[in-house]
Structure 1
Amino acid sequence: MAKIDSLFEVMLNKDASDLHLSEGQPPKVRAHGRISNLDHPVLTRQHMEQYLQEICSADRWQHFIEVKDLDFAYGLGDKARFRANYFFQENGMGAVFRVIPSEIKSLDDLNLPKVLRSFCYMNSGLVLVTGPTGSGKSTTLSAMINEINAKTARHIITIEEPIEFVHPNKRSIICQREVGIDTNSFADGLKNGLRQDCDVILVGEMRDYETISLAVTAAASGTLVFGTLHTNSAIKTVDRIIDAFPADQQAQIRTMLSDCLKGVCAQLLLKTKDKKGRVACNEILIGTTALASSIREGNIGNIRNIIQGGKGMGMQLMDDAIQKELNNGKISGEEAYLKATDKTRFSQYALA
C-alpha cells in the first residue's frame, strides 16, 4: 500500500472530487465545490516526494523533474481511479488528484438532455462537449461513448491524456490510447487513427491548431469525431475553432466547419441549494442549415437566435437551463447569478 493511499481513503470517505497537495500547505480536498483542509501536518518536500514518487514509474518521475509537469492515472485497487497532475509552484512541488468514477454512468443516469443521444448515432461530423475545467466534460463524453459502444457495432478510438474511464468492448471495438505512452500527441493519435479503419474518434483535448485542423478534416471526411474545448458557450466554441486558424485560412475553415459541425454541448456544474452536490446545466446547439449558413457567412452572433428558435429540436441556451434548475428549487438564486451569461436576467439575486 502506497503512503498516499491513506489520503485517498480519507478523500473517498468525505465524498470529495479532488485532493490538493502543495508543499508548504496541509493537504486539502474539494467536496461538493468547497475546499477544506485535512487533519494533517503541513507538507514538506520529503512528504511530497514520498507521496508522489511512490505511485509514479521511474521514467515518468524523471520526466516530471525535467519538464515540471506530469499527467497520468492511478488506481486504488478496485475502489477508485484518479487523474493525477503533478506540477511545480512557488513553494515547491504540487499535485491535484481528481476522482474518476469506477462506474461509467449512462446519459440517463446523468440526467443529461435527451438530444445528446442522437449525436451518438450520427455517421460522421464533429460533436463538441465544452466547458471550464472540472465541469464534467469527461463524464458526459464517457456516457456518449458508452452509448455507442453498447448499442452499435463500430470501431471507436479514444485519444486521452490520461485515460480516465476504462471502456470494455461491448458491441463495438474500442481502442483507448494515452498521449505520452501510446502516441506522442493528440495530433499524432488523430492522424494515425484515420488510417485504422475507425468509425468514431474521441479527441480528449483540442488545444492547438494542428489538432483542431485534423479533427475538422476527419469530421468532414466521414468520421464521427468527439472533442472538447475550454469554452462555456456555443458561440465562443465556434469562434475559438475559427480563431485557431491564420486569417488567410479562416474562410476555408468556416466552409468546412459549416458542413461538419453537428452539435455543441456546453456544460457548467452548479452547486445545489442544499450544498450537498452539483447539477449540470447544458447549452445545446444542433447542426442545421441555418447554422451552416451563419458559420459560412461569418455571422456567428446569429447562433443565439438559432438556439432560441430551435427549442423544439432540443436546443437550449445556458441561461434557460440555469433558469429551469432555479425554478425547480435545485440551485440558489445567488448561484444562478454567478454562473449566468446574462447577469441582468438574474440581477435580483446578486449579493448586495
Structure 2
Amino acid sequence: MELNEILQVALRANASDIHLKAGLPPMFRVDGHLVPLKDGRRLPPEEVARMAFGTMSDFQKEKFKQTNEVDLAYGVPGLGRFRVNIFQQRGTVGGVFRVIPFKIQTIEQLMLPKVIEKLAGEQRGLILVTGTTGSGKSTTLAAMVDHVNATETCHIMTIEDPIEFLIRDKRSIVNQREVGVDTMSFGQALKSALRQDPDVILVGEMRDLETIETALTAAETGHLVMSTLHTLDATETINRIISAFPPYQQKQVRLQLGSVLRGVVSQRLVPRADGKGRVPATEVLLATGRVRELIEDKDRTKEIPDAIAQGNVSYGMQTFDQSLMWLLKSGVITYEEALRQATNADDFALRVSGISGTSDSKWDGFDAAPAPPAAAAPAPTPAPARPPPAPAAARPPSGPPPAKAAVAAAPAEDDFQIERF
C-alpha cells in the first residue's frame, strides 16, 4: 500500500494523525484514540523508510542524516496537506503525519468564544494560544490570523516550522517563512521581521529565550504578535515566560509582560456528544487592569484564575469550567465528559445540580449571562454571500488605536474541506 493511499483512507476515517512504525500496521488517531488501519498489514522497516524519505527534499534528507529527525510539510494535490515529523527509533525510521485542512475555518465555525474575534482585532501587543500537543492551537491561531487577513489592510508576517496552513492574501499581504527553508531560526526571522514593515507577526512557537525576548520587544514597539506555548492554562503561561529569564531580569520582565500582553487563549479538545469529532473547551484571559497587577506581582499571580472567573460577564473572559458548562447546556458535550475534563470536578458537579459549591463566587452572574453564539452547533448550510468589502484604513503604526468601523470580511474560498482540528 502506498503512502498516499494510507493518507486517503485516514482522511475518510476523519483521522487527525497517522502513525507509521516498522512492525505495525498504519495507526490512525480518531477523536483522540489510536486505531489500526482495518485489515492493514504490518509495515516492514524498509517500506516505512521508503515512504518517509519520499516526503523529503534533498535538504531535508541531509538534515535527517545529521540529526535523525526532521519536521516538514507534505502536500498532495487533491488530497490534503500534512505536518510531518520523521524520526529514528531503535534503528528504524518512523513518522507521524498531522492532517492540516486546506480551508482555514472561521472563529465562529470552530465554536470559539466571540471575544476571540475582538482579541484578534487588537492593534498591538502579545496574544498567546496555548495547550498540549494536538489541542488545536495551530487551527485557532490560523483562524485568528485569517480574521485579520479578511477584515483589515495590513502586512502579516508568519514564521513557522513547518508552514502548516497556507494563508491566501485577502485584504492584507501575507508572507509566510519556514524555518530551515526560508530562514535559519525563529529568533533570526523575528529580528528580521521588525525591519520588514509588519503590522502582525505570527511566531509558530516561542521555543527559547531569544524568541520570547524578541517577541516581547516586537509587541512593545507597536506590533501585534501572536504565538503559541505548550502550557495548560493562563497562569502556567505567565510563569513559563517569566521563568525563561534569569532571576535578575524577572521583575523587569513581569512589568514588560504586564504592559504588552493582550490575552491568552488556552484550549483542550473534548469529544462531542453526537460522536462527530471534538470541540474546543477554552480558557480566555484578557489583560484587564486587575490582570496586569496580578502579572506584575509574583505573589499574586496565583490569583489569575479567580480574575478570569469573575471577569466573565464584564469582559467575556471564561475559565475551562465555565466553557464546559456552556457546552453542556448547549447539548454539545455529555455530562460525563464535562465532569472528566473539569478543573474542579466536585464544584462543577454541584453547580450542575443547582447546589452552591465552595467556590460559588466564581460563578456570580454566569447563569444570567446569555450563552455565547459559539456554543451553538455550526449550521450545516453554507453562509450567504457577503457584499464586497469597503476599503479599510491602514493599521496605524503607533499611538492610541482609533475607533474602528465594522468591516465586512472577504468571501471565503471554495476549498475542499478535510477535517476540523
Paired with 1:347 and 1:92, the residues of 2 have a C-alpha distance of 48
Q: CA deviation at 1:347?
A: 6.7
Give the corresponding residue for 1:307. 308
Once the two structures are superposed, the pairs formed by residues 182-261 of structure 1 within 5 Å of their partners are 182-261=182-261
Distance 2:332 2:106 in 1: 21
Provide runs of 4+ in structure 1 moved above 4 Å: 346-349
Instruction: Name the SS of the counterpart of 2:153 in structure 1.
Output: coil
The separation in 2 between residues aligned to 1:25 and 1:271, in whole angstroms, is: 27
Contact 1:3 1:50 in 2 (8 A): no
Secondary structure of 2:215's counterpart equals helix
**Counterpart contact for 1:79–1:102, Cα < 8 Å:** no
Contact 1:261 1:287 in 2 (8 A): yes
1:324 is displaced (CA, Å) by: 2.2
CA distance in 1, matches of 2:92, 2:347: 44
CA displacement at 1:154 relative to structure 2: 0.5
Opposite residue 193 of structure 1, the aligned amino acid is: A
Tell me what 2:31 maps to. Answer: 32
Could you say which residue in structure 2 is the equivalent of 1:12? 11
Distance across 2 between alignment mates of 1:330 and 1:177: 37
Structure 1, gaps ≥5 residues long: none
Partners of 2:344 and 2:288 in 1: CA distance:
25
Deviations 1:62-82 (A, max 9, x none): 211220111111111132101
What per-residue deviation string (whole Å, max 9, x for no partner) do you get for residues 165-216 of structure 1?
1111111111000011111111111111011110110000011111111111
Pairing 1:80–2:80 present: yes
The 3-state SS of whatever aligns with 1:23 is coil
Q: CA deviation at 1:115?
A: 0.6
TM-score (norm 1): 0.95
Which residue of the partner structure matches residue 346 of structure 2? 344
Distance 1:219 1:168 in 2: 24
Superposition TM-score, scaled by structure 2 size? 0.80
Deviations 1:300-352 (A, max 9, x none): 11211211221121100011111222333322333223322223335799xxx
Shift of 1:263: 0.4
Q: Deviations over 1:133-180 (max 9, x none)?
A: 111111111111111111111110000011111111111111000011
One-letter amino acid of the structure 2 residue matched with residue 11 of structure 1: A
Separation (CA, whole Å) in 1 of partners of 2:312 and 2:345 = 22
Q: Secondary structure at the match of 1:283?
A: strand
Paired AA for residue 102 in structure 1: F
Q: Could you say which residue in structure 1 is the equivalent of 2:391?
A: none
Which ranges of structure 2 fall in alignment gaps of 5 or more residues? 353-421
Q: CA RMSD in A?
A: 1.7
Higher strand share: 1
CA contact (8 A) 1:80 1:100 kept: yes
Query: 1: CA distance between counterparts of 2:118 and 2:349?
Result: 35
The one-letter amino acid paired with 1:34 is H
Question: How many Å separate the matches in 2 of 1:20 and 1:81?
Answer: 15
Q: Aligned letter for 1:230? A: H
Q: Paired residue for 2:383?
A: none
Q: Is this contact kept in 2: 1:32–1:277, CA < 8 A? A: yes
Match of 1:61 in 2: 61
- Counterparts of 1:93 and 1:281 in 2: how far apart (Å)? 35
The one-letter amino acid paired with 2:32 is G
Larger relative CO (CA 8 A, sep 6+): 1 or 2? 2
More helix per residue: 1
- Using the TM superposition, give the Cα deviation of residue 28 of structure 1 relative to its aligned residue in structure 2, in angstroms: 0.6
Q: Distance in 2 between matches of 1:346 and 1:27?
A: 39
Report % sequence identity: 44
Match of 1:143, SS state, is helix
